[in-house]
Amino acid sequence: MKRLLVANRGEIAVRIVRAARDLGISPVAVYSSADADAPHVRLADAAVEIGPPQATKSYLVIDALVAAAKETGAEGVHPGYGFLAERADFAAAVADAGLTFVGPNARTIELMGDKVRARAAAADAGVPTVPGTPEGVADVDAALAAADDVGYPVMLKAAAGGGGRGIRVVADAGELRTAFPQASREAASAFGDGRMYVERFVRRARHVEVQVLADGEGVVHLYERECSLQRRRQKMVEEAPAPGIDATKREAMTADAVALSSAVGYTSAGTVEFLVDDESGEHFFIEMNTRIQVEHPVTELVTGIDLVAEQLRIAAGEPLRVRQDDVAVRGHAVEFRVVAEDPEAGFRPSPGSVGRVTLPAGPWVRCDTWLEPDSKVSPFYDSLLAKVVVWGEDRATALRRGGRALAEFAVEGVPTTAGFFLELLEEPWFAAGEFTTGTLEEWLAERAQE
């Protein structure tokens, strides 16, 4: 591959441009009219304007991206994350145009993008999924039998439903006897189908994901990342390795991630996401992300492997260079996602023009960003300004270094979450690594009261 179209914007476009250059591949950028002055455009060898600011008219227009690749002589297309990265029709359109999609094929993207089929694929590969009935049950006796198999507490979910309607959590058989008929009646009137799924309710869980690399022949894992600290399902802080995961659990989860990826004939970089029950310690497959992740740098810092470069090598048809025995985790890495949101105003998005910008640097600090002095933070795209990623020989050292780096981070003109993370670093539960997916929002609710 000599030329690569980077079908994205922001920090990930800059990241991909750099990986391409490191491999001697010529990067080509695309941009909407709002991004004409963006660094990913300037750093590339060529750039094509693909439309107006709205993503639906630019970064999401498949034909415009394929045409840009063709007209600039690009042989490959890297989708980044977000936008079209997990759209099977984009991967298919790129392949149909005779170009190489940097990612798995359309069939795999489609399979893993379908929750029911992905869950079935995991079960077939012997990977645990959240225990539950594969189909809806229609009456109380069937529900009681299912709940005994699954283990209490259980969640009742409308088989035909969605959007959280009709969901009930029940603690024991007594509660189930009362709740089932009500929930089933509600489901019948809302969806015309009274059948209910009975599923284990995981009260407190960690979100832990395993990074894999695969070339269609072999699969290796690059260990795990901990991503439980979320607000409204948006990750805010990620780290590797995951605190609270012991060697036995790590071995089981990574083996499961490899088993699933092998079973579906996976190619490229991918992430297998698990929920880890904080009480029982069990892990359950949730979904597979068939793309590079925002938080990939923490894995790069602890393994020394450039994930984007490996994606490009695999896409170019090279066999996997990384052998499982060569992958080792050294030290600890943490990523803080600094976004243009106002933590003092309910994390209100805060687009605008920035003035001076001071980015953290120095030993073992990496700042992946698109931000420069006088940048415009556009209302049209997500609010990510920079990923401040730090490495330390152990977790405590990494967190202390994170504090140092975040204190250096300064942007004039728009509120950011950098200072908020300094507060988070003061919290004993964070320092101790004791948290689950609900912890950050609970803390935010308490903080709002003060």
Of 66-74, 96-104, 283-291, 381-389, the window that binds another protein (rule: CB under 8 A) is 381-389
Considering the complex, state which of residue 60 and residue 120 has its C-beta at the smaller distance from another protein. Answer: 60
Q: Which two tokens stand for residue 353?
A: 């023009």
Residues 323-342, interacting with another protein (CB under 8 A): 340-341
Residues 6+ apart with CB under 8 A from 49: 30, 31, 32, 33, 36
Considering the complex, state which of residue 29 and residue 339 has its C-beta at the smaller distance from another protein. Answer: 339
Nearest of 254, 258, 334, 267 to residue 300 by alpha carbon? 334
Q: Judged by CB under 8 A, does residue 218 bind another protein?
A: no
291 is catalytic: yes
Q: Judged by CB under 8 A, does residue 349 bind another protein?
A: yes
Q: Judged by CB under 8 A, does residue 129 bind another protein?
A: no
Residues 19-48, interacting with another protein (CB under 8 A): none
Considering the complex, state which of residue 18 and residue 231 has its C-beta at the smaller distance from another protein. Answer: 231
Q: Are 7 and 80 in contact (CB under 8 A)?
A: yes
Q: What amino acid is encoded at 415 in this protein? A: P
Considering the complex, state which of residue 53 and residue 153 has its C-beta at the smaller distance from another protein. Answer: 53
Least separation in angstroms between residue 54's CB and another protein is: 6
Q: Judged by CB under 8 A, does residue 380 bind another protein?
A: yes
Q: Judged by CB under 8 A, does residue 60 bind another protein?
A: no
Considering the complex, state which of residue 10 and residue 132 has its C-beta at the smaller distance from another protein. Answer: 10
Q: Judged by CB under 8 A, does residue 237 bind another protein?
A: no
Beta bridge partners of 411: 357
Least separation in angstroms between residue 382's CB and another protein is: 5
Q: How far is CA 446 from the centre of its chain?
A: 27
Q: Judged by CB under 8 A, does residue 382 bind another protein?
A: yes
Least separation in angstroms between residue 381's CB and another protein is: 7
Which residue of 98, 281, 304, 379 would you call a contact of another protein, by CB under 8 A? Answer: 379
Q: b or e along 262-271 (b: 16 or more beta carbons within 10 Å of the residue's beta carbon)?
A: eebebbbbbb
Relative orientation angle of helices 247-263 and 115-124, to the nearest 10 degrees: 110
Of 4-12, 52-60, 96-104, 423-431, the window that binds another protein (rule: CB under 8 A) is 52-60
Least separation in angstroms between residue 234's CB and another protein is: 10
Which residue of 281, 351, 362, 373 would you call a contact of another protein, by CB under 8 A? Answer: 351
Considering the complex, state which of residue 52 and residue 134 has its C-beta at the smaller distance from another protein. Answer: 52
Q: Which two tokens stand for residue 445?
A: 């609710």
Which member of 15, 200, 225, 291 is catalytic?
Answer: 291
Q: Judged by CB under 8 A, does residue 230 bind another protein?
A: no
Q: Judged by CB under 8 A, does residue 12 bind another protein?
A: no
Considering the complex, state which of residue 56 and residue 178 has its C-beta at the smaller distance from another protein. Answer: 56
Which residue of 18, 49, 53, 81 would you call a contact of another protein, by CB under 8 A? Answer: 53
Q: Judged by CB under 8 A, does residue 403 bind another protein?
A: no
Q: Are 238 and 295 in contact (CB under 8 A)?
A: yes
Residues 383-402, interacting with another protein (CB under 8 A): 383
Q: Judged by CB under 8 A, does residue 56 bind another protein?
A: yes
Of 49-57, 58-66, 112-120, 402-410, the window that binds another protein (rule: CB under 8 A) is 49-57
Q: Judged by CB under 8 A, does residue 353 bind another protein?
A: no
Calculate the alpha carbon distances from 288 to 30, 35, 432 in Å: 27, 31, 29
Q: Are 77 and 94 in contact (CB under 8 A)?
A: yes
Of 50-58, 217-225, 237-245, 419-427, the window that binds another protein (rule: CB under 8 A) is 50-58
Q: What amino acid is encoded at 301 in this protein? A: L
Considering the complex, state which of residue 299 and residue 416 has its C-beta at the smaller distance from another protein. Answer: 416
Q: Judged by CB under 8 A, does residue 419 bind another protein?
A: no
Least separation in angstroms between residue 50's CB and another protein is: 16
Distance CA 103, CA 329 (A): 25
Considering the complex, state which of residue 70 and residue 348 has its C-beta at the smaller distance from another protein. Answer: 348
Of 262-270, 321-329, 378-386, 394-402, the window that binds another protein (rule: CB under 8 A) is 378-386
Active site positions, annotated: 291
Binding site for another protein (CB under 8 A): 52-54, 56, 340-341, 349, 351, 379-383
